[in-house]
């Protein structure tokens, strides 16, 4: 079943307005986790729409704008690294998804969510593993979330150029770990993550 037929099958089951929800940023050791909720027109077909992790950056930018001008509704939610450290990344992810859902201007009949369950909502939801590879709405949400988060990390690269966030976007690459070892963590790092906590630093981490 292709990603559009997948969503059509839910519409045929009595959920005409479907919001796909996905996140970007659970894995990095710096920066926020960003979630998006997207409602697509039932007749819309966007060439190349798929899981954002499988889309090269230039094509992802193109798809972002295609979704932005074509979607019925889009909501975005974000949890910063300070809150992630306070409540843990899983809870932060679910909260970001909840905020994205609440940012929609219309109420969907059902939510298709990638892998987790959104707390405190009465809207019918379906948690599907790897939903970003199965549902068009979730794939669109993954593109929006990934693009928005990448733009946030590019902004922070200008504030903290010594970490080269524009290249690795806060993920745990060797270069990133070397930068932390050299400069210590900055205000953007998730200090509860073991990769940051256990890195040999040039000075004690307060």
Same domain, 95 and 182: no
Contact 3, 50 (CB under 8 A): yes
Position 131 in a domain: yes
E strand intervals along 43-138:
73-79, 110-114, 124-128
Q: What is the pLDDT of residue 145?
A: 98
Helix (H) or strand (E) holding 8: helix 3-12
Q: Give the 3-state secondary structure of residue 147.
A: helix
Position 205 in a domain: no
- Residue holding tokens 């987790």? 116
Contact 196, 185 (CB under 8 A): yes
Q: What is the pLDDT of residue 197?
A: 85
Position 202 in a domain: no
Same domain, 140 and 174: no
Helix (H) or strand (E) holding 18: strand 18-24
Contact 115, 129 (CB under 8 A): yes
Dihedral sign for Cα atoms in the order 51, 173, 175, 34: positive
Q: What is the pLDDT of residue 203?
A: 52
Bridge-based pairing of strands 33-39 and 18-24 is antiparallel
Q: What is the pLDDT of residue 198?
A: 79
Confidence of residue 51 (pLDDT cuts 50, 70, 90): confident
pLDDT one-digit tens code per residue, 3-42: 999 999 999 999 999 999 999 999 999 999 999 999 999 9
Same domain, 22 and 71: yes
Q: Give the 3-state secondary structure of residue 192.
A: coil
Token representation of residue 32: 């926020």
Reported pTM: 0.94
φ, ψ (nearest 5 deg) of residue 36: -135, 150
Confidence of residue 206 (pLDDT cuts 50, 70, 90): very low
Same domain, 9 and 53: yes
Position 48 in a domain: yes
Q: What is the pLDDT of residue 70?
A: 97
Structural domain harbouring 181: 160-197
pLDDT at 204 over 60: no
φ/ψ bin of 194: left (φ > 0), alpha (ψ from -120 to 50), beta (otherwise): alpha
Give 30's DSSP letter. B
- Residue holding tokens 């902004």? 155
Token representation of residue 111: 């939510």
Same domain, 39 and 7: yes
Same domain, 131 and 41: yes
- Please give the tally of structural domains in the chain: 2
pLDDT one-digit tens code per residue, 93-148: 999 999 999 999 999 999 999 999 999 999 999 999 999 999 999 999 999 999 99
Same domain, 13 and 85: yes
Q: Which residues are registered as beta bridge partners of 124?
A: 110
Same domain, 136 and 34: yes
Position 206 in a domain: no
pLDDT at 73 over 90: yes
């Amino acid at each position: 079943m292709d990603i559009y037929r997948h969503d059509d099958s839910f519409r045929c089951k009595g959920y005409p307005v479907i919001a796909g929800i996905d996140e970007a940023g659970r894995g990095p050791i710096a920066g926020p986790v960003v979630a998006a909720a997207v409602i697509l027109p039932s007749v819309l077909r966007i060439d190349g729409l798929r899981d954002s992790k499988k889309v090269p950056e230039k094509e992802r930018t193109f798809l972002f704008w295609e979704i932005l001008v074509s979607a019925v509704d889009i909501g975005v939610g974000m949890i910063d690294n300070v809150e992630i450290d306070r409540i843990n990344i899983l809870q932060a992810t679910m909260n970001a998804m909840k905020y994205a859902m609440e940012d929609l201007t219309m109420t969907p009949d059902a939510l298709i969510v990638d892998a987790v369950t959104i707390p405190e909502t009465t809207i019918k939801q379906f948690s599907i593993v790897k939903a970003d590879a199965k549902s068009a709405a979730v794939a669109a949400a993954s593109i929006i979330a990934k693009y928005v988060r990448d733009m946030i990390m590019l902004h922070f690269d200008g504030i903290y150029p010594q970490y080269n966030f524009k290249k690795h976007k806060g993920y745990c690459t060797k270069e990133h770990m070397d930068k932390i070892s050299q400069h210590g963590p900055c205000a953007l790092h998730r200090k509860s993550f073991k990769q940051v906590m256990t890195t040999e630093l040039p000075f004690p981490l307060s």
